[in-house]
Amino acid sequence: MVRHIAAFVGLALLAGGEAVSQGDKAFGPDKDGLIAIEAEHHTGKADKDPHKWVAVKEPAGFSGDGAMEAKPNDDANNNEDFVTLSPRLDYKVKFAKAGKYRVWVRGWGKGESDNSCHVGLEGKAVDSADRMGEWPAEEWAWLNDTHDGEPAVLEVKAAGTLTLNVWMREDGFVIDKILLTQDEKYQPKDKGPAEVRE
């Protein structure tokens, strides 16, 4: 009984405070070197009127405490100038090693005009990780593709803590989780590995 009450209070805190209990601790690699990040556990966020990333508890089947949706879904597509035009999510990430990291994103595309986003580092666009898409419609899926036809990649010049950014491209896109790996052959399945905060 006591345990049930504790669980209920915990959930209430999460619902009201967007999982602030995690603080701004950096995301780090697990024992296999995989860096998993729940999108709803952002360590920073910037709205860009009229759009903003909003915490959602749907569609069902998300990992962690929910997901983030770019709202309102009004047919916007910020393919260019997204650093200026688009709402942003920030994640403090501790990279243990320098080098190339593949970027995987677990997302949900409602339709063909709601299934893309941009990823960058330190508040700047990165040519090799922007314009990620297209997520399939109406299902949770891990994707590493970009509109350039190459897998999304970030180059980390030196080990250390950096801020990973996600910007809206098409509104209505729902982002559940991010995974960074130096293993080119790794492919996340289902909900992917658990995040590690340090």
The footprint of Ca ion (CB under 5 A) covers: 38, 62-64, 67, 73, 113-114, 170-172, 176-177
- Phi-psi category of 70—alpha, beta or left, where left has phi over 0 and alpha has psi -120 to 50? beta
- Number of residues in the chain: 198
Question: In Å, what is the CA distance from 107 to each residue of 98, 114, 125, 161, 188?
Answer: 27, 10, 20, 25, 12
- DSSP 3-state of 22: helix
**Residue holding tokens 């879904």?**
73
Q: How far is the CB of 140 from Ca ion (least distance, A)?
A: 10
C-beta atoms surrounding 79 within 10 Å: 13
* Tokens found for residue 104: 């995987």
Q: Which is nearer to Ca ion, 18 or 114 (CB)?
A: 114
With 0-12 CB in 10 A as exposed, 13-18 as middle and 19+ as buried, what is 146? buried
Q: Specify whether the CB–CB gap between 175 and 192 falls below 8 A.
A: no
Angle at 95 between CA 92 and CA 100, to 5 degrees: 115
Q: How far is the CB of 28 from Ca ion (least distance, A)?
A: 17
